[in-house]
Amino acid sequence: MKKKSTARPGEPSLPLLRPLSTVDVAIFTVRADRLHVLLVQRNDEPGEPCPGQWALAGGFVDVDKDENLEACALRKLREKTGVTSPYLEQLGCWGGKSRDPRGWSVTHVYFALIPTDAATKPVSGANTTGAKWEPISKHGVKEALAFDHEQILTAAITRLRNKVEYTSLPAFLLPREFTLSELQHSYEIVLGRKLEKSAFRTRVLSTELVTPVPRFKEGPNRPAQLYRLKSANSPVFFQRTFKPAEG
C-alpha cells in the first residue's frame, strides 16, 4: 500500500499507512407514499468483503477523477441514478480499525434527496450485482446491511427526520411544481405523522420557501395552486419545530 517513509529528521513526515477512503451516499426518495433509500448489492466474488449483502451506494474516492469529496458523492449519485442536481448534504464520517476487514478505513457520508419523478430504475455498477429502492419503516430497513451501514443509515434517517421538523427538506422530494397539499403530504411521509393543514399553510407561506406559479393542478375537485421553490438548492429554516414536545 502506501509508503513514503518519514523518519529522516527535519524532512517532511508523512504517515507510513493511510486509511482507505470511501464515499457513501444515502439516497432518499418517495415512492408510493413511502420513504425509500437506494441499496446496492455487493459483489459475490471471493475476497470481496460482505459478499452479496446490501449496502448504501458508494465506493472508493478516486484521487484522479474526484476533485473533492462532494464531487465524488455527486459522481456516485449520478452513476447510480442519473440524477445530477439533487439536494445533497454531508452527514459525517465514520472511520476506524475494524469497520472494514480490508483495514483502517474512513467513509465520508452524504445524504441526498431526489424528486419522486426522478426516482426511476436505479442501475447497478462496478462491484455490485444489483440495486433497489428499499422502503423505510419506523426503525430503518428490513435488510441487514454491509459494514456499519446500518448504523450510518440510522444516523441519516435520524438527521432527516430531525431536520424536517424545522426545515424545508421535504420540498426536495417533490417534482419541480407542487401544491401545498402535496408538500404537506411529503412532510407527513417523512415525519410519520399527520400535520394540521391550517398551521402548515400559514407557516410555509410566511417564509421565503415557495412562490406560486401561474398554473393549477386539476383533479376531480377544486383545482389547487401550484408552487415552486424560491431557491432551488438551499433549504429554509423555520424558527420553531412543528410540534413542541414536553419540556
Where along the sequence are the contacts to DNA (CB under 7 A)? 179-181, 195-199, 201-203, 206, 218-225, 238-240, 242-244, 247
Amino acid letter for position 124: S
189 binds, among a copy of itself, DNA, none (CB under 5 to 8 A by kind): none
- Show the site string, 25-64: x = touches a copy of itself by CB under 8 A, - = not: -----------------xx-xxxxx--------xxxxxxx
What is the C-alpha to C-alpha distance for residues 81 and 88, in angstroms, rounded to an integer? 14
Nearest to 104 by CA among 193, 9, 22: 22
CB 88 within 8 A of CB 81: no
Nearest to 146 by CA among 121, 129, 162, 122: 129
Single out the segment in contact with a copy of itself by CB under 8 A; choices: 114-122, 125-133, 174-182, 193-201.
125-133
What is the C-alpha to C-alpha distance for residues 85 and 184, in angstroms, rounded to an integer? 23
115 binds a copy of itself (CB under 8 A): no
12 binds a copy of itself (CB under 8 A): yes
The vertex-82 CA angle with 164 and 188, nearest 5°, equals: 20
CB 211 within 8 A of CB 227: yes
207 binds, among a copy of itself, DNA, none (CB under 5 to 8 A by kind): a copy of itself
Q: Which residues bind a copy of itself (CB under 8 A)?
A: 1-4, 10-15, 17-22, 42-43, 45-49, 58-64, 66-69, 71, 90, 92-97, 102-104, 106, 108, 126-128, 206-208, 239-241, 244-245, 247
